[in-house]
Amino acid sequence: MIASGMKSVVILGSTGSIGENALRVVDSLPGRFAVTGLAASTNAERVMQQAERYGVRRVALADHEAAAKARSIAPNGVEVLEGEAGMRAMASAPETELVVCAIVGMAALAPVLAAIEAGHDVAIATKEVLVAAGGLVCGLCHENGVNLLPIDSEHSALFQSLQDGGLLPWCARNRCGPKEDLAVERIVRRLILTASGGPFAGRPDVDFETVAVGEALNHPRWRMGPKVTIDSATMMNKGLEILEARWLFDMPADRISVLVHPESIVHSLVEFTDGAQMAQLGYPDMRLPIQYAMTWPERVGNDTLPRLDLALAATLHFSEPDPARFPCLRLAREAAQAGGLVPAAMNAANETAVERFLAGEIKLPRIWEVVERVMGEFGSATGADDLGAIKEADAHARRRAAEFLEGRA
């Protein structure tokens, strides 16, 4: 039984960095949230610890062996769902008010679609969902009156800054009913995403051919999962964020800029047509954007979050990214321009190549090389609103990426 006034929340990817921080937000705001469901990929032990702590009676494991293990250690009365069907069931549970999606990669698409079709708002941290299926996801949000609330620190900063500029961003309009067109293009000139630059933007002398996995995983500011951290090292994460912002804020990709900002204090900016810029600032701590998404439209006080002291922050640096050293930014813009299934193919090829790099099988530059080769095979601008076509493109791109990487193509 959920206490009156508490928001019921399901957390998908509860054992990862974002999921753990979402639970820290729940802990820091007692009486505000009831955690009613948890889901993870393989970490059965941790998800069961979380279920016991938060009194959750239903969990899901994407991996079948992990689900079997979870059942063997589950306390009495805890139901364990499994596989994609289990993740979808968890995301669409009728008592849910908000689904926090922190699953890595395309594995998040099916449960996100299930949550939207069930009418649940989604706080989303998974870039790949909108990169590969933005048209489909946003169309369903509109049809079902569902808001899509950004968790990424950069998109949260844009979300906050646009509202402070008097605009209700597209991603949060869907529960409001018909609204007058706010003519965003007459008010906003561009969106500016900031990038830490990862471990290599400040090292122009680094030879990418010799970069070890450990070096690429050594992010100077953020503690993230391995896939996201490698994307930061190649700056593909910023390319994915361009495509994500294009859908969240209904803004053409050619009006979304990137600035390297190694201190990660300014989390992104909105430039308005009168020349004014608005930004959201804060120390690099994911609890703040997670809390903002979970409590929106309220802004809730929380003394456990760090307070920014600009005097201590001292000098802040900004620079343009080097497109020659980080070709993934160019590839993402090309994918945005091509549209159709090209973004899905780009994302699938990148996921495949990153897995091989993390396994020590390829060198870092092979990631963007194989992404470009796979993208070149997808020239069609159709199919982006069709789930079957998106899945087929994703699977085909993964096969082709593996063939290129193995020298079979």
Q: Is residue 128 part of a domain?
A: yes
Q: Is residue 63 part of a domain?
A: yes
For the stretch 114-150, pLDDT in tens is 999 999 999 999 999 999 999 999 999 999 999 999 9
Q: Is residue 45 part of a domain?
A: yes
Contact indicator for 7, 34 with CB cutoff of 8 Å? yes
pLDDT band at residue 201 using 50, 70 and 90 as cut-offs: confident
How many independent structural domains does the chain possess? 1
Contact indicator for 41, 107 with CB cutoff of 8 Å? yes
Q: Is residue 16 part of a domain?
A: yes
pLDDT band at residue 1 using 50, 70 and 90 as cut-offs: low
pLDDT band at residue 168 using 50, 70 and 90 as cut-offs: confident
**What's 341's DSSP letter?**
T
pLDDT of residue 380: 61
Q: Is residue 332 part of a domain?
A: no
Q: Is residue 170 part of a domain?
A: no
Count of CA atoms in the C-beta half-sphere (13 A) of 22? 34
Q: Is residue 107 part of a domain?
A: yes
For the stretch 229-266, pLDDT in tens is 999 999 999 999 999 999 999 999 999 999 999 999 99
Rounded Cα–Cα distance for residues 192 and 155 (Å): 10
Q: What are the tokens at 175? A: 């529960």
Range of the domain at 62: 7-146
* pTM score: 0.94
Rounded Cα–Cα distance for residues 168 and 158 (Å): 11
The domain that holds 52 is classified in CATH as: 3.40.50.720
**What's 278's DSSP letter?**
E
pLDDT of residue 5: 81
Q: Is residue 216 part of a domain?
A: no
Rounded Cα–Cα distance for residues 26 and 68 (Å): 28
Q: 22 pLDDT exceeds 90?
A: yes
